[in-house]
Amino acid sequence: MTESDARADASAFGNYQNEIYSTSLQGTLPNLPMSFAELEARATRALPPTVLPYVAGGAGDGYTQRANVAAFNHWGIMPRMLVDAAKRDLSTEMFGTRMASPIFLAPVGTIGLCAQGGHGDLATARAAAATGVPMIASTFSVDPMEDVAAALEDTPGFFQLFTPADRELAESFISRAERAGFKGIVVTLDTWVTGWRPDNLEAGALPQMQGHCLANYTSDPVFRDLLGQPPERDPRAAVELCARLFANQVTWRDLSWLRSATRLPLILKGICHPDDARRAVDAGIDGIYCSNHGGRQANGGLPALACLPDVVEAADGHAVLFDSGVRSGTDVVKALALGATAVGVGRPYTYGLALGGTDGVVHVLRSMLAEADLLMAIDGYPTVRDLTPAALRSVSPAWDPW
């Protein structure tokens, strides 16, 4: 395939709108929402009342969660005319693998509970397989990681690790992920203790404490040895052991052990300070994941987008994944222009999953990619490489519609 053929293929993302218009002409209007506001509103009605606060809620009064979203409005994309943008290339390279698109599915524990039928991890993996959009599979999963990896088919998957306090168990998770075919390990740093989440507290609901989404633990031989009995015999004891092992803070002292535990690319999630990014790269980490967990962990922080440019500079050419507040293809384009290698989608796909299972996730991903693709066409930035900070202008907060 020539480079121009590859670009012609990639430019097909925008064609999703043609499909929708022609189906509508035949009398069938889209049954899934076209805007994030409608997606959120309908998912709010569809999600079970015990799951909704966990998915939609943030830490504290939700300031950081809202700021993540609003931060995108502080940047405007400068249109360039007379550029040949008839063919676009939205592909990006990460850890030596070329990805068809620059977005990925961020790890969301409890997606298992969001799909009708209760197997949302598998439904999401099937959406990844259908779109080629990589998935980062959470430690908290209704189905074990081996089944999630199998459902991904040829689409790259990464395993997200909440590093257990027991190193043997952590190593078991990592080697299972390697054997299952995941392409990297994403270690989440900001969630060794749960943030203060008033919505969850009011509903009295933390799914893991109710015994949900623990399949990676209960299927693990090391966990089962530690438990000393089959988890089915005393499910409460299994949940309590999970909770004890979960509460484990990874510090700089643990990095050399984590590094030695896998030959896969190691990515640290939750890095927002450039000094942390620099030190992680010096410690042999392959990728930095700039994120504040969608404002679910610590309230009162900076929007993650505001941290991104300094983290990119400090990462010194290493891959920088980004999420927190991404709601549209426009947001994807802005994050790429600020230096992200790839951009993570979190709540939007979770809402798509709640409304339409695999089809709902596919719709959300295709809509985001179509919007990004058409924006790059109209504004004259035909490839991801063309998206640099020079494509953006900061906009006075007076323009901020929020």
Which residues are tagged catalytic? 293
Residues 175-204 that bind ligand FNR (CB under 6 A): 188
Nearer to ligand FNR among residue 106 and residue 123 (C-beta): 106
Q: Toward ligand FNR, which CB reaches closer, 20 or 319?
A: 319
Could you say which of 14, 53, 294, 360 contacts ligand FNR (CB under 6 A)? 294
Q: Which of residues 139-158 bind ligand FNR (CB under 6 A)?
A: 140
- Cβ 378 to ligand FNR shortest distance, Å: 25
Determine which helix (DSSP H) or strand (DSSP E) holds 98, and give its type and residue range: strand 97-99
Considering only 14, 112, 325, 339, the residue that binds ligand FNR (CB under 6 A) is: 325
The secondary structure of residue 214, as a DSSP letter, is B
Helices assigned H by DSSP within 230-338: 235-246, 255-260, 274-282, 304-315, 329-337
Q: How far is the CB of 358 from ligand FNR (least distance, A)?
A: 18
Of residues 140 and 377, the one with the C-beta less far from ligand FNR? 140
Q: Assess 108 for contact with ligand FNR (CB under 6 A).
A: yes
User: Does 331 help bind ligand FNR (rule: CB under 6 A)?
Assistant: no
Residue (114 or 377) nearer to ligand FNR, CB: 114
- The footprint of ligand FNR on residues 207-266 (CB under 6 A) is none
Number of residues forming the site for ligand FNR (CB under 6 A): 23
Rg (C-alpha) for the chain, rounded Å, is: 21
8 A C-beta contact, residue 75 and residue 334: yes
107 forms part of the interface with ligand FNR (CB under 6 A): yes
The residue (of 11 and 65) whose beta carbon lies closer to ligand FNR is 65
User: Phi and psi dihedrals of 89, rounded to 5?
Assistant: -130, 105
Query: Which of the stretches 3-11, 102-110, 151-159, 174-182 binds ligand FNR when contact is defined by CB under 6 A?
Result: 102-110
Is 106 one of the binding residues for ligand FNR (CB under 6 A)? yes
Question: Containing H/E element for 118?
Answer: none
Taking the complex as a whole, the smallest distance from the CB of residue 65 to ligand FNR amounts, in Å, to: 6
Nearest to residue 249, comparing CAs of 172, 185, 162? 162
Q: Name the residue nearer to ligand FNR (CB basis): 180 or 364.
A: 364
Q: Is residue 326 part of the contact set for ligand FNR (CB under 6 A)?
A: yes
Residues 117 and 188: their CA atoms lie apart, in Å, by 28
DSSP, residue by residue, 366-377 = HHHHHHHHHHHH
* Contact pick of 11, 155, 160, 367 for ligand FNR (by CB under 6 A): 160
Q: Give the integer Cα–Cα distance in Å for 318 and 381.
A: 23
DSSP, residue by residue, 36-92: HHHHHHHHHHHS-TTTHHHHH--STTSHHHHHHHHGGGGEEEPP--S---SS-B--E
For ligand FNR, which residue of 53, 120, 303, 346 counts as binding (CB under 6 A)? 346
Give the residue from 284, 251, 253 showing the smallest Cα distance to 270.
251
Q: Please list, in sequence order, all residues whose beta carbon lies within 8 angstroms of the beta carbon of residue 157, skipping any fewer than 6 positions away.
A: 125, 128, 134, 135, 136, 137, 148, 149, 181, 182, 183
Binding mask 47-86 for ligand FNR (x = CB under 6 A): -------xx------------x------------------
* Binding status of residue 324 toward ligand FNR by CB under 6 A: yes
For the bound state, the minimum distance from the C-beta of residue 331 to ligand FNR, rounded and expressed in Å, comes to 9
Sign of dihedral through CA atoms 332, 338, 339, 340? negative
Contact range with ligand FNR by CB under 6 A, out of 176-184, 231-239, 289-297, 311-319: 289-297
- Could you tell me the smallest distance in angstroms from the CB atom of residue 15 to ligand FNR? 26
Place of tokens 């709010």: 44
CB closer to ligand FNR out of 11 and 341:
341
**Please, what is the angle between helix 347-379 and helix 16-25, to 10°?**
100
Q: 203: buried, middle or exposed (CB in 10 Å: 19+, 13-18, 0-12)?
A: middle
323 binds ligand FNR (CB under 6 A): yes
The residues near 341 (Cβ < 8 Å, ≥ 6 apart) are 92, 93, 94, 102, 287, 319, 320, 321
- Given the complex with ligand FNR, which of 13 and 140 has the nearer CB atom? 140
Residues that bind ligand FNR (CB under 6 A): 54-55, 68, 106-110, 138, 140, 160, 188, 269, 291, 293-294, 296, 323-326, 346-347
